[in-house]
Chains A and B, each alone.
Chain A
Amino acid sequence: MELKSKCPTGPIEQQWQKHKAEMKLVNPANKRKYHIIIVGSGLAGGSAAATLGELGYNVSCFCYQDSARRAHSIAAQGGINASKNYQNDGDSTYRLFYDTVKGGDFRARESNVYRLAEVSTNIIDQCVAQGVPFAREYGGTLSNRSFGGAQVSRTFYARGQTGQQLLLGAYQALQRQVGLGQVKMYPRSEMIDLVVVDGRARGIITRDMVTGKIESHVGDAVILATGGYGNVFYLSTNAKGCNATAIWRAYRKGAGFANPCYTQIHPTCIPVSGDHQSKLTLMSESLRNDGRIWVPKKKGDTRKPDQIPEDERDYYLERKYPSYGNLAPRDISSRAAKQACDDGRGVGPGGLGVYLDFADSIKRLGKKVIEERYGNLFEMYERITDEDPYKVPMRIYPAIHYTMGGLWVDYNLMSTIPGLHVLGEANFSDHGANRLGASALMQGLADGYFVIPYTIADYLAQLKGPKIDTSHAEFKKAEAEANERIKRLLSIKGKRTVDSFHKQLGKVMWDKCGMARTDAGLREALALIPQIREEFWKNVTVLGSGDELNQSLEKAGRVADFLELGELLCRDALERDESCGGHFREEHQTEDGEALRNDEKFCHAAVWEFQGDGKPPKRNVEPLEFEFVHLQQRSYK
């Protein structure tokens, strides 16, 4: 597998400009001759579809939900970063770039990160123009808040619903193109395979989730913007439908899968309430602006929080990281919470929780201000837990939230399969081993609005060879395989439900490959997962038929892929014998329990190459160089 990053050279602040000037263009009259397939309609896919449609390309966009507006970007709460420096507090493109590289624990590609920081300001402008109702100051200017891992205030927000508002902006732009006939939208359609013809991505196979029909779609380029694979853990903050099938099928067709072990655990989620739990709910990181995190100093302290006096509380983030305090990056905050709970000082049922306390802020600012800032989050918390966070401190615990790993892409966001582009969380590119808060929205929109429209033209302009259609043998073959797989799932008629396998896999993943990983634990997981997979294919039961809406069948296909991906994730975690960002190997930590990188051996992206079923995948390496931000031990003290 050849891993050419195609990063421009020269001073980093000129790279993207230079690259844009050098890339080939598609003439306006020719654009409509190209057909682009986009899978996913979230911030990355939706913005790409809208923009490419607007440019005149012929676009087909697919999503599994009933409408493009439901993509899980909608659930992002806190905000979107941009280095506007409207606060005059010392922000700049360079500082956002620096914070992101450092926050990612030096495991991201510098050129990509710089570009991301550079276009971040355009995103805000674009979204304002679309009518995204960002929070405003009394003078009418845009308002900012602070987020983890930064000492400047650069996060733009729309109450606690920033993702929703940004997505609706992209969705409206997309629907406008649908109305104009530039984009054809395929809701309730799931991509179940990628079609590669003569080494190029030329189309996809989908299942119409209403009629069950297996369909072929041919295009000149394919864009995957299908989000992350956090649901491999069963319990995560992802939507129930989020899945890895699109990227996993692409991996099996030859796309390199980079750094699957980089998973992000979000420190502020509502703790699990019982076995029935179907998903975890995030409480925005923005709460850490005004909430203080603490646990009792005494182990097994069962007193009510208001009965624990001030000097018997351990505000451990403020204690350990005085300069960032409660706004330490996510990986660090999560691990600190885990350490406190492992230490027997956790609170709530099962001792798996820490307090996020607003009492001081309410005293200082008044209930009204807190209500204005976080009212909807407090309400959501109250609905789920039946506790009033204005009176009782919230209980939070870390949960799987985001996956930094994903399909490997070059600077042009193209995977190792020519013609297959990957955007947003589905790719691996910009966040290294840990993503900073409010950067996912930024990356999704950067990729969709401001990167892919340029880079895809460069690919299409150089495209040669005859046009093909869906009668091509590769399409027929892929369709037959898809049908075969569905038939197989329906014919097992075993005894266990799909969910029971998913939960079993999730438990192994969380226990052995969650917040802290060990050599022995990962080896156990690598032994267990194939067993679960084997039982799945023998003993799963999927009722109903393939030619109707069948939610069990949809889940079964996704879980089957998770059962393969989970293994790769553990394998990657085992091979990466260091700690970095969200990947924490207990063997590698500093004296005070921080992640200890091994830059000599692991300053690279690990890119996995599928070798066929039953054969171990091949680990390729893209070395990472840090020319502009020098390698250093991360410190947030």
Chain B
Amino acid sequence: MNLTLRVWRQKNRNDAGRFVTYEAPGISPDMSFLEMLDIVNERLIEKGEEPIAFDHDCREGICGMCGLVINGVAHGQRRATTTCQLHMRSFSDGNTIVIEPWRATAFPIIKDLVVDRSAFDRIVSAGGFISAPTGSAVDGNAILVPKDDAEMAMDAAACIGCAACVAACPNASAMLFVSAKVSHLGHLPQGQPERYDRVQKMIAQMDAEGFGACTNIGECEAACPKEIKLLNIGRMNRDFIRASTAAKG
């Protein structure tokens, strides 16, 4: 099939950036979206033009490195799919596809479609963990975890940190990402000692990074390739309220 692409090109962080239109003829429906971009890039290089920079790595939907806003939708129209797992059969011959980077103050653009998501790492550093020094652990079966709790923890832990939630949120809020980690650890007995401390620290860091606030509209949930539920945000809010109202001392 033959496609027209309108791609955001931006030389570096300080450049203003603009859309550039490229023709992409002869695209196979079996290609993944990124393979289509590979082809476009190969052709650009052969013409002596700089290829489009975009982040990607595992190309099997788990590393969370790829992420493009495709026709105004983070990771494209297909539900529960990362950009690398989106295939060209989702498009039709003659389509024009608009490709943009994640846009958020907290994620400065590095080049073209590549953004800096290190804010997420800092949020995790602030409290997204269980302090369990190596060697200090008791036997794995000494901590019994009810199956349902383990499943719910896993549902939340499936987050790949791609930041589509931020990209899709009109407020560029990171609440879904943060709440997924809070839920994952909060559902497990091992996560209880730091539960309330964790939620406060992570939210404080999230605010400091310049993400927006949640307006509970659900765009994040719709964009999430791992189908992390909005409910996690509710749970995090509950933990936050308990953490903030508990008398300390």
Contacts and interface: CB of A to CB of B under 8 A. Distances in A.
Interface of A: 47, 50-51, 54, 65-70, 72, 74-75, 84, 86, 122, 124-131, 133-142, 156, 158-159, 161, 164-165, 168, 171-173, 175-176, 178-179, 185, 187, 210, 237, 239-241, 273-274, 276-279, 281-282, 379-380, 383-384, 386, 449-450, 453, 495, 497, 499-500, 541, 543-544, 548-549, 551-552
Given A75-B63, A384-B87, A276 B147 contact: no
A127 B39 CA distance: 41
Given A172-B124, A276-B38, A497-B42, A54 B133 contact: yes
Given A67-B118, A136-B150, A552-B45, A141 B134 contact: no
Contact of A171 (B81, B124, B135, B187): B124
Given A67-B161, A140-B147, A386-B87, A175 B128 contact: yes
A178 B53 contact: no
B16 interface: no
Contacts of B154: 133, 135, 158-159, 165
B208 interface: no
Most chain B CB atoms below 10 A, which of A126, A172, A187, A237: A172
Given A54-B134, A142-B141, A274-B30, A72 B128 contact: no
A210 B111 CA distance: 9
Given A66-B65, A278-B34, A383-B81, A176 B129 contact: yes
A131 B185 contact: yes
B191 interface: yes
B56 A133 contact: no
Nearest to B31: A276
Nearest to B124: A175
Contacts of A500: 42
Contacts of B42: 497, 499-500
B140 A142 contact: yes
Given A84-B140, A380-B61, A130 B130 contact: yes
Interface of B: 11-12, 28, 30-32, 34-36, 38-39, 42, 45-46, 48-51, 53, 55-65, 80-81, 85, 87, 89, 110-111, 114, 116-118, 120-121, 124-126, 128-141, 143-147, 150, 153-154, 157-158, 160-161, 184-185, 187-188, 190-191
A137 B161 contact: no
B146 A136 contact: yes
A72 B58 contact: yes
A66 B184 contact: no
Most chain A CB atoms below 10 A, which of B59, B63, B65, B120: B63
A278 B121 contact: no
Given A69-B121, A133-B153, 19 more contacts: A65-B57, A67-B121, A72-B57, A86-B141, A122-B135, A125-B140, A140-B144, A140-B147, A179-B126, A240-B56, A276-B30, A278-B38, A449-B135, A495-B46, A543-B45, A548-B111, A549-B53, A551-B53, A552-B51
Contact of A125 (B110, B124, B139, B147): B139
Given A133-B150, A543-B45, A140 B62 contact: no
A490 B11 CA distance: 18
Contact of A172 (B11, B130, B146, B158): B130
Contact of A133 (B12, B111, B188): B188
B102 to A, nearest CB: 12
B67 to A, nearest CB: 11
Given A125-B138, A276-B38, A239 B57 contact: yes
B116 A178 contact: no
Given A240-B57, A240-B59, A70 B64 contact: yes
B132 A129 contact: yes
Contacts of B125: 175-176, 178-179
List 5 A-B pairs, minimum CB-CB distance, nearest first: A140-B144, A179-B125, A172-B129, A129-B137, A129-B132
B45 A541 contact: yes
A239 B55 CA distance: 12
Contacts of A159: 154, 158
Most chain A CB atoms below 10 A, which of B39, B51, B57, B160: B57
Contact of A75 (B62, B81, B137, B185): B62
A162 to B, nearest CB: 11
